[in-house]
Amino acid sequence: MNCNLSCTSSKLQLIAHPTRLKILCQLGQHELSVQEIVHKAGSSQSNISQHLIHMREKGILESRRDANRVYYRIGDVKLLGVIQQMREIYCSNDS
């Protein structure tokens, strides 16, 4: 997907939410199940699920289903570098 400055700005605004940042810090380059994300992020499953769905709809995350579990991973490879830098700077003490 070709993403211009407006698109990039929208994605950065979307991930600026504290819960979404926490989710992205937990994911990094790893795929996690919704249950694992809920456990690591420390919020309710319904709250986390809403954030995951929103980020998936905007192309930030991708998901796959395996039996009764849903797994999420970073879907926008261009964001991986940004997320990695955020993890190194901001997430190390919060993970």
> What CATH number does the domain containing 83 carry?
1.10.10.10
pLDDT in tens, 9-42: 888 888 888 899 889 888 877 899 999 999 998 8
72-82 average pLDDT score? 84
Residue numbers of the domain that contains 35: 5-91
User: Could you give the dihedral angle defined by the CA atoms of residues 9, 88, 79 and 13, in that order, rounded to the nearest 10 degrees?
Assistant: -20
φ, ψ of residue 66 to 5 degrees: the values are -135, 105
Long-range Cβ contact pairs of 43-49 (< 8 A, separation 24 or more):
43/19, 47/19, 48/19, 48/23
Residue among 88, 74, 11 nearest 37 (CA): 74
The pLDDT of residue 95 is 45
What's 90's DSSP letter? I
pLDDT band at 92 (very low <50, low <70, confident <90, very high): low
Provide the number of structural domains found in the chain: 1
Residues 6+ away with beta carbon under 8 Å from 49: 34
